Each structure stands twice: as structure tokens, then as C-alpha cells.
Amino acid sequence: MSPNPPADENRRQHRQRVLKGAAIITGIQNSEVSCSIKNQHDAGAELRVAADTSVPEHFLLYVPTDGIAYRCEVRWRRNDRIGVKFTGTEPKPKLHYG
């Protein structure tokens, strides 16, 4: 895993700029961490979280506006930004209120 995001010219797909609210759902008692999605494409996204937030390497990202939960793998981290790769989808988590 690279500590810095890849340069724009190294990206395989163009990421569409978005601003969506989302929740990182961890396997630890289904705890949630609020975040926002800064940009997104079919294979991944860039998330913004509080800089001191602990986010595991694999988690479920629920995006209420999409009505989808994306299984994610962290690809890079930098301050309050995290780049993730989508590894699959799931329906809305039952325990999520959004």
C-alpha cells in the first residue's frame, strides 16, 4: 500500500468529483464512522475522514444516496484522505438508520 495518493496521470480511470455523505461500517460490533466521498468511479473512491480516525484496511462503506454498501480495501492514506478500491457490493446494512 502506497502512503501517498497516485498522481493523476497514473490513474487507470477518471474519478468523477462528487460530494456524498457515507458511513464506514467496521466489523467491530458494526460501529460506524461518518465520512464524505470526494470523488468516485466504478472501481473506487477517495474518502475524507477526520484525521485522527482509525479506519481498518477492509470495511463496508454505506452510501445512502446510492442505496448501496461497497466492500472496500484501503489503497492509500494521507492525512484526512483515504483512497479505496471497491471489491464488491452488498444491500443496505440492516443496522444502518440512513
pLDDT, tens digit (0-9, with 9 covering 90-100), for 8-19? 444 555 556 778
How far is the C-alpha of 44 from the C-alpha of 71, rounded, in Å? Answer: 10
How far is the C-alpha of 75 from the C-alpha of 72, rounded, in Å? Answer: 9
Domain boundaries, the chain: 17-90
Q: For 17-90, which CATH class?
A: mainly beta
Which of the pair, 8 or 65, is modelled with greater confidence?
A: 65
Q: What residues form DSSP beta bridges with 96? A: none
How far is the C-alpha of 9 from the C-alpha of 66, rounded, in Å? Answer: 28
At 23 the pLDDT is 93
How far is the C-alpha of 55 from the C-alpha of 77, rounded, in Å? Answer: 10
